[in-house]
Amino acid sequence: MKVTRIRGFHLRATLPEPIGNALVFFDRIDSLLVQLVSDDGLVGWGEAWASPAAVAAHIRTRLAPLVLGQDPSATGRLWRAMMGALHYDRRGVAVMAVAALDIALHDLAARAHGVPVTALLGGALRARVPAYASGPFFKPGGDPYRAYRDDVEGYQKRGFRAFKPHAGLDPRADGAMALALRRQIGRDGGLMMDYNQSYTARAAIRSAKCMEEADLLLLEEPVMPEDIAGYREVARHVLPALAGGEALGSLAAFREYLVAEAVDVLQPDVTICGGFTGCMRVAALAEAFDVPVMPHVWGTAVNFNAALQLAAVLPPQRGGGPAVFPMIEYDATSSPLFALAGTPPVDPDGMLAVPDAPGLGVDLTDEALRAWTVDQWEIAAN
């Protein structure tokens, strides 16, 4: 089997209303889906939701010749070949381009063998993964936390038992919001906070102090990802676990965090740090430091299902919350790109079933993507 074509779909969807975090509001979601087509008609899907246009350019001008005409089952060799063509950009857009193709190669190879991607990653350790609702998000105008209670009530009705609202407005407002949500979900619910890199270290510490009685499971990205010293400062003064890593693209970057003892939970994004091959390297490094890995998720159904396949093979670790790590991040917004393959149901225990169909378990068609496609391209083997 050989890869004969690479197709790209730049998708864009407008949200029903603007949402945001402490840094930015947005009313649309963009992502690049990459489809690999084999000589026997099978396809594999990959994604790059960050900088989709730049990733597309990198694939088309540099990486496509390394993949076309190749056996998709040679995922490790092809990953090395692509990484060897990156030159100076080893943590940014170029690695995202490698990630999109690596995800698609795994999907295509697994489909060819009639097995889920978990089989290529060593075998699933679990058939279900505990899910947490990624939300609520800020609303523009007035108190950005004003709809949190209603949003969480909606998540509870959908079966979620763990929640990750966005914080970072100011420490006292964060504290009031966190305590109100704790009362709402009860002591058995999992409650996390995502600061989205919005605070200085001291402001994050003050915010965490204001939320102490809310008994938080973890605090995500309290400071900018480059501020490892800030992470360490926050870690010295707060009780909840610190989580981060979604913005990191290289194994060396994750090593810097672990050596500095800056995080308690790593959150690699499959589409950011080199696909499945890159994430499995991060997971092995984290295991050497006894640090849990929980995949970060954003974008479309492709990244979500890739993260779910990854979460199924990660070792279990107890982090003190309502479920054993890893948990899976579930986009609780109304994004139509997340629901391209349907809305995955959360069961009454707050768990998600890991698809056991071949590949990622996602079947997409040009017709399903047409309403959201703003640009499309194709490169064929000579």
CB 346 within 8 A of CB 352: yes
- Cβ partners under 8 Å of residue 318, min gap 6: 324, 325
CB 221 within 8 A of CB 244: yes
Q: For domain 3-114+365-380, give the CATH number.
A: 3.30.390.10
In our burial notation (b when 16+ CB lie closer than 10 A, e otherwise), range 80-102 reads ebbbeebeeebbbbbbbbbbbbb
What whole-number distance in Å separates Cα of residue 194 and Cα of residue 221?
6
Task: Give the CATH fold of the 119-353 domain.
Answer: TIM Barrel (3.20.20)
Residue 59 is classified by DSSP as: I
In our burial notation (b when 16+ CB lie closer than 10 A, e otherwise), range 248-258 reads bbbbebbbebb
Tokens of 304: 């979500």
Peptide bond into 326 cis (omega under 30): yes
- CATH 3.20.20.120 maps onto the chain at 119-353
> What pLDDT score was predicted for residue 82?
97
Question: Which stretches within the chain are classed as H helix?
Answer: 52-58, 64-67, 75-83, 93-113, 117-120, 148-157, 171-185, 201-210, 228-237, 251-259, 275-288, 301-311, 366-370
User: pLDDT by residue for the chain (382 residues), tens digit each?
Assistant: 999 999 999 999 999 899 999 999 999 999 999 999 999 999 999 999 999 999 999 999 999 999 999 999 999 999 999 999 988 777 789 999 999 999 999 999 999 999 999 999 999 999 999 999 999 999 998 999 999 999 999 999 999 999 999 999 999 999 999 999 999 999 999 999 999 999 999 999 999 999 999 999 999 999 999 999 999 999 999 999 999 999 999 999 999 999 999 999 999 999 999 999 999 999 999 999 999 999 999 999 999 999 999 999 999 998 877 788 999 999 998 899 999 988 899 999 999 999 999 999 999 999 999 999 999 999 999 8
> What pLDDT score was predicted for residue 176?
98
**Model pTM score:** 0.97
CB 289 within 8 A of CB 111: no
What whole-number distance in Å separates Cα of residue 288 and Cα of residue 304?
26
- CATH 3.30.390.10 maps onto the chain at 3-114+365-380
